[in-house]
Amino acid sequence: MYKYDDYDQQIVDERVLQFKDQTRRFLAGELPEDEFLPLRLQNGLYVQRFAPMLRIAIPYGMLSSQQMRKLASIARRFDKGYVHFTTRQNLQLNWPRLEEVPKILEELATVQMHAIQTSGNCIRNTTTDQFAGVAYDEIVDPRPWCEIIRQWSTFHPEFAYLPRKFKIAVCGSEQDRAATQVHDIGIHAFLNQNGDVRFKILAGGGLGRTPMVGSVIKPSLEPEHLLSYLDAVLRVYNRYGRRDNKYKARIKILVKALTTEVFSEKVEKEWSHLKDTQARLPQQEIDRVQSFFTEPDYEALTNIDFTDLALSAEPDFQLWLRRNVHPHKKPGYSAVTLTLKATADAPGDASAEQLEAISDLADRFSFGELRVSHEQNLIFSDVPQRQLHELWLRLKPLKLATPNHGLLTDMICCPGGDFCALANARSIPLAEMIQRRFDDIDFLHDIGELDLNISGCMNACAHHHVGHIGILGVDRKGEEYYQVQVGGASGHDASLGKILGPSFKMDEVPDVIDKILNTYVELRTPEERFVDTCRRVGVQPFKEKVYAKAA
Amino acid sequence: MPKLLKDQQISNDDFQILKRDRAEPILPEGNVLLHVSSINQAIKANGLHNGQVGIWFDSGDEPETVANTLNQFEIIAVNFPGFMDGRGYSLARLLRERFDYRGDIRAVGDILVDQLYYLKRCGFSSFRLREDQHPDYALAALTTFTSDYQTAADKTLPVYRLRHQF
């Protein structure tokens, strides 16, 4: 993975000093709250319902075991001993003290980490495929490009006060596991006919109040022009994006208002002035960054027959093999998902003890590296298949071997009204209610692949529009209600879900989901996943079942 | 009089910023900045007036239409109605890099210490500080970072070139 050089380290160290001074001035009353606000946000610091919340960047979801141990120690020393992984591959501390945040940043800087631009109206953490570099269907490793974008976007002087936040995602494989179509900019890396890397650029996707799928504004871009092209897109957005209404300020509204054609023409015109300046990326720098993402010392192994592996072990292990173990580009290796979705724990939460145990296991089984997925899970990317059973045995007592990856109970869930000041409704208790109701693992495996996403408000942190089943918390005269939609998806075939009808009280939701699942079981063909059936039959049969009057 | 940060020095900014759509044909005494919508009046007065004459852009104004005339002025100001309005950063880069403006670009309006570093990188060469801003902090803010990841109007080499000593 990427390692800082002296330039990177100095920039992060200087940021710590800058924020320390800003915090001091705020606490001394020299900096008013409304002027400190954007400064602290650009350092990931929110003031929430009960305490500040600090969002720490995990660039494109990659972590070393050493960094993970530091996070565990920070969680213990400055928080209540646990952390929360977010849907943007970042990490949140829910209980830090504002006075101590500069100290936390100082600690993070010692392991090449920071909280830069994890919030605010600026370019946020770039995200990618959690299987980047090891995916069986990968065409181009997206990580070097994510790192190049990370550096370019860090303290970009022109784009620190955009109309609204700005999110970029990169993918380089056939299956889009980075939800690039619902980002402000989505980048698809591919190889052209000569085998050279090119980028397809999408713009104007997004969730929130007005969900939209992005459209292609540049079918093929040379890598040396990546930064100048991004500069051009951002400049058009910075100048012409709406600033009069926060809910119409994202780039998707601008692209839609101008049309994709006009927007891309404007970008093209801007880019023609920028492309042959200093902004052109030197090949030496591309080579340098790529050199950090080479293969680890893989052994020469052959693939093991999983049926044999499963037969010799416990039934639980079979389920885990089927759900949580993923194909790998190297023979004899697999990637493994540790779902942070055990019933009764808030989705995405992990304790300091778990983080330390995970770090030890990463050192032992997966070259000391970890990934965070936007599904709020952790990944060991390079596990030798012959060690899978041993790893599973060690994960089980840590409550990290729940065999539910990609199933109903592996839900994506925002912190909701328990923590977040924006939320209309709580999401964690609902997640737990659903996990308790659907605790029969055989039933879950029979239902199969199903993304359930729960957002506590229309800001859509849990991406409910692209959940196969999406749940949105709404406020009805001061009471928590939940709107249910079906048929969304976030992959290459991204689609937005359709709302079933009037919203429900929290304790009605598990029954509603049960009815939705029964409808699927009745209507599915043998090959169909839940979302396929939704697409074929539409929303009507689900609606009829859910809102049917009791006979 | 507002404080001005320019060339590492703090002084007083004696420019009067004249309102847009101003009807009077006579300019007030001393240094003045006219809104870009009155650029013809500014061009005529430039050199004849008993003070310096410059123009100012508001954050949403488009410099494209007056690009050829810019270098007649020794000073151009860009107004930040609020510090969260980031359009002025792009505007200054256009003035400096696209239209090759070589005079003083002054940031005026809601100009605060914590944005100075970015403003400087985007091509601003002087800063009319909001009244309550601490001049010492302002000076220090200009050197917050030793090196930068991107190319901008200040023409410093971005880190991705420094690393390879181009």
Indicate which CATH number applies to the domain containing B68. Answer: 3.40.50
- Check residue A322 and give its pLDDT: 92
Question: Which of B83, B147, B151 is most worth mutating to test chain A (most A CB atoms within 10 A of its CB)?
Answer: B151
- Check residue A422 and give its pLDDT: 87
User: Residue A286: its chain B contacts at CB < 8 A?
Assistant: none
Res. A50 pLDDT band, cuts 50 70 90 = low
pTM of the entire predicted model = 0.93
Residue in B117, B119, B151 nearest the CB of A278 = B151
Res. A551 pLDDT band, cuts 50 70 90 = low
Res. B156 pLDDT band, cuts 50 70 90 = confident
Lowest mean pLDDT segment, chosen from A177-181, A362-366, A501-505, B138-142: A177-181
Q: Could A14 and B97 be called an inter-chain contact, meaning their C-beta atoms sit closer than 8 Å?
A: no
By CB atoms closer than 10 A (0-12, 13-18, 19+), residue A434 is: buried
Indicate the DSSP class of residue A166: B
The alpha carbon of residue A395 and the mean position of all alpha carbons in its chain are separated, in whole angstroms, by 23
Contact criterion met (CB below 8 Å) for B4 and B11: yes
Up-side HSE of residue B75: CA atoms within 13 Å toward CB? 25
Residue in A39, A155, A157 nearest the CB of B89 = A157
Beta bridge partners of A326: A335
Q: What is the domain count for chain B?
A: 1
By CB atoms closer than 10 A (0-12, 13-18, 19+), residue A478 is: exposed
Instruction: Supply the ipTM of this predicted assembly.
Output: 0.97
The mean pLDDT value for B78-99 works out to: 98
User: Residue B115: its chain A contacts at CB < 8 A?
Assistant: 160-161
pLDDT digits 0-9 by tens, A227-269 = 999 999 999 999 999 999 999 999 999 999 999 999 999 999 9
Contact criterion met (CB below 8 Å) for A132 and A141: yes
List of domains in chain A: 6-109 (3.90.480.20), 127-291 (3.30.413.10), 306-398 (3.90.480.20), 412-547 (3.30.413.10)
Copy the structure tokens of residue A541: 């049969």
Q: Which residue from A59, A57, A62, A101 is spatially nearest to A79, judged by alpha carbons?
A: A101
- Expressed as residue numbers, the domain containing B15 is 3-162
Res. A207 pLDDT band, cuts 50 70 90 = confident
- Check residue A491 and give its pLDDT: 77
Lowest mean pLDDT segment, chosen from A45-54, A520-529, B104-113: A45-54
Copy the structure tokens of residue B69: 């005339």
Query: What is the Cα–Cα distance from B119 to B135, expressed in whole angstroms?
Result: 16
Q: State yes or no: pLDDT of A49 exceeds 70.
A: no
Q: Which residue from A272, A274, A326 is spatially nearest to A133, judged by alpha carbons?
A: A326
Contact criterion met (CB below 8 Å) for B105 and B92: yes
Interface size, chain A vs chain B, as Cβ–Cβ contacts under 8 Å: 109
Lowest mean pLDDT segment, chosen from A462-466, A489-493, B71-75: A489-493
Q: What is the mean pLDDT of chain A?
A: 94
Q: Could B149 and A156 be called an inter-chain contact, meaning their C-beta atoms sit closer than 8 Å?
A: yes
Q: Which residue from A153, A275, A243, A238 is spatially nearest to B89, judged by alpha carbons?
A: A238
Q: Could B164 and A285 be called an inter-chain contact, meaning their C-beta atoms sit closer than 8 Å?
A: yes
Copy the structure tokens of residue A460: 């859509």
Q: State yes or no: pLDDT of A160 exceeds 90.
A: yes
- Check residue A345 and give its pLDDT: 81
Specify the residue for token string 């050089």.
A5
pLDDT digits 0-9 by tens, B124-155 = 999 999 999 999 999 999 999 999 999 999 98
pLDDT digits 0-9 by tens, A392-451 = 999 999 999 999 999 999 999 998 998 888 899 999 999 999 999 998 988 999 999 999
Specify whether the backbone of A268 is left (phi greater than 0), alpha (psi in -120 to 50) or beta: alpha
- Check residue A313 and give its pLDDT: 87
